Amino acid sequence: MMEKIAKPFLKWAGGKTQLITEIERVLPNEIRNSKFTYVEPFVGSGAILFWMLNNFPKMEKAVINDINEDLINTYKTIAKNPKELISILEILQNEYHSLELKTEEKKEYYYQKRETYNKREIEQSGQAALFIFLNRTCFNGLYRVNKNNGFNVPMGSYLKPTICDDKNILAVSNALQKVEILCGDYEQTLNYSSNNSLFYFDPPYKPLSETSSFNSYAKDEFGDNEQIRLKNFCSKLDLLNHQWILSNSDVKGKNVEDNFFDDLYSDFNINRVDAKRSINANPEKRGKLKELLITNQINNQEYVRAI
């Protein structure tokens, strides 16, 4: 039997599966042809992480980080205790599916589990199981917290969502055995890099409007000052001869006079690529838009469109 390929175990707003083709085009040649370390300081659902693990056998190790403690707890649980996690998820799935035709009871069950999750008083595997349960049953797979770090996304409308994908959890657990899992500020990842490292940054995006922000992903907001600090970190990596790719929103697509990123990353290569917006309360506002892929190395001269 073929070994199952690991894929993201979460639904995630802003997941990068759709950008894989564009990211592949700007990968530096050194990554394709020699041993390297892959570093992802804002790992999220790990779409690029799993793609790299599945397609680049010369990757010696990977390092992932996120400021979201509950997310990182889930990664660590899958890496160390996948079977225990699966057993809890199977119970949650069976209980939730049994309420398929009992609308009020199903709703009560969801909000009861959300309350338990927000107390953060249960053991690691149980907390990780609730993280996955809420991700699979909440509205659009959003992860959003308030200032007190309380998860506050309402229940979604899925009838019988897959809560326990046991085969993928085992595949992810196997893939994570060569991954260093960190939790905290992204700058700490530099300490875990090697001489030949590729950093991929997928930070909370700069919102295109005051009402479009989904970046209440941690209790502390990621505003313009944080975007500037991140650019300074990227400049530091460049001076140290590390290679990096960064994605973010294209604010110029909303306002042609908004040069925030064009000015901020003027010393680097700014590529505008097609993406899709899939989450919006107004269906008419979903659809194609441009995003930025910024790199510090030019791989394919014909492809790179420095703006």
Distances (CA, A) of 173 to 4, 45, 167, 274: 11, 14, 10, 32
Q: Mean pLDDT throughout 123-136?
A: 98
> Hey, how many other C-beta atoms are within 10 angstroms of the C-beta on 16?
23
d(CA 162, CA 167): 12
Overall residue count recorded for the chain in this entry: 307
pLDDT at residue number 274? 87
Residue 34 pLDDT exceeds 50: yes
Alpha-helical runs (H) found in 152-285: 166-175, 224-239, 260-264
Average pLDDT, the chain: 89
Nearest of 78, 16, 12, 11 to residue 245 by alpha carbon: 16
In the chain, DSSP finds a helix count (H) and a strand count (E) of: 10, 7
Identify the pLDDT of residue 282: 45
Residues paired with 65 in a beta bridge? 182
Residues sharing a CB contact under 8 Å with residue 255, sequence separation 6 or more, in sequence order: none
- Give the residue with greater pLDDT, 275 vs 149: 149
Of 294, 286, 273, 80, nearest in space to 176 by CA: 80
**Per-residue pLDDT tens for 8-17?**
999 887 768 8
Per-residue pLDDT averaged across 292-305, rounded?
Answer: 64
- pTM of the predicted model as reported, rounded to 2 decimal places: 0.90
Quickly count: other Cβ atoms within 10 Å of residue 307's Cβ: 14
CA 92 to chain centre: 24
pLDDT 10s digits, 167-178 = 999 999 999 999
In this structure, the number of other CB atoms found within 10 A of the CB of residue 296 comes to 21
Please state, in angstroms and as integers, the Cα–Cα distance from residue 116 to each residue in 41, 122, 151, 158, 161, following that order. Answer: 29, 8, 11, 21, 20
Q: What is the DSSP letter of 19?
A: G
pLDDT, tens digit (0-9, with 9 covering 90-100), for 131-167:
999 999 999 989 999 989 999 999 999 889 999 999 9
